Amino acid sequence: MKKVLIMILAVFLGNQAYAQSDDPVVMKVNGREVLRSEFAYLYRRDCATQSQPLTAKKYAEQFVNRKLKVLAAERAGLDTGFVFRKQQENYRIQLMQLQLPGRALIDSLALRLYANQQTNVGRVQVAQIFRRLPQNITPHRLHAEEQRMDSIYRALSSQPDADFTGWVKQYSDDQRPLWIDRVQTTTEFGDVAFSLPKGSYSAPFFTAEGLHILKVIDKDELPRGKSKENLAGQLWRSNTQYAGLESVAENLKAECRYTPDQVGLNELLSKGETSQTLFLLGEHPYNGAMFKRFAASYPQALKRQLDAFTTKSLLDYASRNLVNDNPDTHYALLEYREDQLATEMTDREIGQPTVDDRAGLATYFKFHKSDYKWDSPRYKGAVLHCADKKTAKAAKKMLKKLPWAEWESILQKTLNASGEEKVQIESGLFAEGDNKYIDKLVFKKGDFTSDKSKPFTIAVGRKEKAPDSYTEVLDAVRKDYQNYLSTRWIEHLKESGKVEINQEVLKTVNNL
């Protein structure tokens, strides 16, 4: 494992590449170049949210760490999974909605649809059989999950009166019935949920989160004013609402260099299908096979299908080019992508492994025990509410000889074994103010009145100034342990990588 190489590159008169470029390279991370514009975009955006912004030099340290995590995620193949790619596409579509030409027309069309009640503006309550798919799912597991959901769907289809709730309990990763509206859900999920009649269920379908089979339990019409603002966004994304967008598409044709191929178009309109090119957008051909796939999800007359296919193709092409033509849009997409990868890789390397790492947590606590001393003592024990004095005395004597974790189960097996609850226990780690009985009996503060059915209240346990085990301060230890492992992981990434920073270019970021 080689040591980290941080090369400070000086810009001198002979370096024409840096001197002449409007957007010079500010750093290289494992050979990948980072332009000044990318670094400046993120630096300024993050500075805007901080009361005391970092200098560009200090921020560069955080920036490098993030890039190293992203590159590690790419090496692990996290950027190739179906779920990850679907998330990126959904975000791209959302980002484009407010930027494409024709937004005013879309808004006016949404208002018209709203006024005419041509779209569902209510809420729906759904239950679902849901299989969560991780971003790094293997093709083998993805195929297995698809087969399982298809099998469940076939079983439901053959048993119309089957108990859907039972299938949910047995197979679903999310068993909550949900009320949703268009604001609260993704396009894919909402399109299915809002299109189903009450009491019916869907075929299996994908979203960025996983695989779903939905059942609509109930529908509720909302006041119209609460749903109007959602329709414009639906129109941009929906595969079923192209009517009225033709004028938007017409305005985009020149910008997208739309070139029709009359031979292919004529064959499609006369025969209903073709394998030939229908039109070009820029240099990219759109052919009959692409149209066929689109038409399968858009049941309309042939001419309407062709108009809708052309409209959607123009909107998609324009949105992709907008990314290339607008640096801020490009970097917003890049930031979203890299944040997803860095977060997923960190969770994979640090978060998930430490959840059940009892040995690691215990060892870390052992060497850092002094960090977890309490400002004031805690009482580790229990409050016992007893039916009589004899029971209280027997319980106290019994528990003092047993491990704290076994107290509750032992009382149930002994003093409460007859079915009559002679003693009730409240165990835990109590600070002053946590429990009125402990406050009075242990910390000699406050007062309480015992329950008439169990008038004898005693405390069993001991005061402690610091925790004995990491389990008593689990959240704090886990957080610190993860930070420790994260620091070591970053050090490893740096030691096994190569970072080159052009300090002269970095200095210019503050002046842009």
Per-residue model confidence as pLDDT tens digits over 273-287: 999 999 999 889 999
Note the pLDDT tens digit of each residue in 407-425.
Answer: 988 998 999 888 888 999 9
Mode of pairing for the β-strands spanning 123-132 and 32-35:
unpaired
CA–CA distance, 126 with 253 (Å, rounded to integer): 41
Assess whether pLDDT exceeds 90 at residue 403: no
Nearby residues of 179 by Cβ (< 8 Å), 6 or more positions away: 123, 124, 125, 220
Q: Where are the domains of the chain?
A: 123-220, 246-325, 375-465
3-state secondary structure of 240: coil
> Considering only 182-191, 218-227, 248-257, which range has the smallest mean pLDDT?
218-227
10 or 215: which carries more pLDDT confidence? Answer: 215
For residue range 254-304, list pLDDT tens digits in order.
Answer: 888 999 999 999 999 999 899 999 999 988 999 999 998 877 766 667 888
pLDDT tens per residue across span 97-123: 555 555 444 454 444 444 444 444 467
Residue 171 makes CB contacts below 8 A (sequence gap 6+) with: 129, 131, 148, 152
* Cα 308 to Cα 94: distance, rounded to the nearest angstrom: 20
List alpha helices for 98-133, DSSP H.
103-115
Q: What pLDDT does residue 511 have? A: 63
- Tell me what pLDDT residue 187 has: 62
Name every residue whose Cβ is closer than 8 Å to that of residue 34 and which is 6 or more positions away in sequence: 25, 26, 27, 28, 63, 67
Residue with tokens 């020149």: 254
CATH, range 123-220: 3.10.50.40
Signed CA dihedral, 66, 69, 71, 73: sign only: negative
Dihedrals φ, ψ of 79, to 5°? Answer: -90, 0
Task: Provide long-range contacts, Cβ within 8 A and 24+ apart, for 447-452.
Answer: 450/385, 451/385
Residue 71 pLDDT greater than 60, yes or no: yes
Sheet holding 498-501, edge to edge: 5-8, 498-501, 25-29, 32-35
Highest mean pLDDT among 20-24, 88-92, 113-117, 211-215: 211-215
Distance of CA 119 to the CA centre of its chain: 29
Please name the residues in contact with 87: beta carbons below 8 A apart, sequence gap of 6 or more.
Answer: 208, 340
Q: How far is CA 283 from CA 259, 411, 465, in A?
A: 9, 79, 74
Instruction: Tell me what the mean pLDDT of segment 82-95 comes to.
Output: 74
pTM: 0.56
Local confidence band at 2 (pLDDT 50, 70, 90 cut-offs): very low
Question: Amino acid identity, residue 461?
Answer: G
CA distance linking residue 246 with residue 467, whole number of Å: 69
Which run of H or E residues covers position 408? helix 407-413
Average pLDDT on 468-483 reads: 90
Residues 511 and 40 sit within 8 Å (Cβ to Cβ) = no
445: confidence class by pLDDT, cuts 50, 70, 90: very high
Q: Read off the pLDDT of each residue in 64-68 and give the average, rounded to a whole number.
A: 95
Strand 178-180 to strand 210-220: parallel, antiparallel, or no bridges (unpaired)? unpaired
E strand or H helix at 277: strand 277-281
The mean pLDDT of the chain is 80
Q: How far apart are CA 403 and CA 424, in angstroms?
A: 18
Beta strands 423-430 and 284-287 are unpaired
